[in-house]
């Protein structure tokens, strides 16, 4: 699985003009299941995200996790993280998991974050979403659960 994690002051996702998820300080997590991914990878990636120390401590160092700060997570499915741009001008997405698998692993990832104690809001899998955020820092981190060739 792949995740693009952004430390945010706030973030919101809307579908057809209606808010479906909103957080204050915390993490916006764009997540994509890849072919071959399984529930174990979703759980491990959620644990990495929950413990990722990218929030400031008293000494202004990035030394605290979303668990330490009590922040929330807005988890949004983003199959385009599977983009292959090695050739041509049009990205290919064949490395993304099939939609049924992708949705199941996306939901598993969000549930695993909740189980770890992170308040979680989500987007709507497969929907045309609008995501608004105020990136704090800015801090943006790319995570991948597997090394791919």
Distances in Å between the alpha carbon of 141 and those of 92, 100, 120? 22, 27, 19
Cα Dmax for the chain: 47
Distances in Å between the alpha carbon of 59 and those of 25, 56, 99? 19, 7, 44
Secondary structure (3-state) at 104? helix
Measured between alpha carbons, how far is 32 from 2 in angstroms, rounded to an integer?
5
Which residues does the annotation mark as catalytic? 78-80
């Amino acid at each position: 699985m792949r995740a693009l994690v952004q430390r945010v002051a706030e973030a919101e996702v809307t579908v057809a003009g209606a808010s479906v998820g909103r957080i204050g300080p915390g993490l916006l997590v764009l997540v994509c299941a890849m072919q071959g991914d399984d529930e174990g990878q979703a759980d491990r990636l959620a644990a990495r995200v929950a413990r990722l120390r990218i929030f400031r401590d008293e000494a202004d160092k990035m030394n605290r996790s979303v668990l330490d700060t009590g922040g929330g997570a807005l988890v949004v499915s983003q199959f385009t993280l599977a983009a292959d741009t090695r050739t041509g001008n049009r990205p290919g997405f064949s490395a993304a998991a099939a939609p049924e698998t992708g949705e199941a692993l996306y939901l598993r990832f969000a549930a695993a974050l909740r189980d770890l104690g992170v308040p979680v809001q989500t987007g709507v899998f497969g929907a045309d979403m609008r995501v608004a955020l105020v990136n704090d820092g800015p801090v943006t981190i790319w995570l991948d659960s597997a090394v791919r060739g």
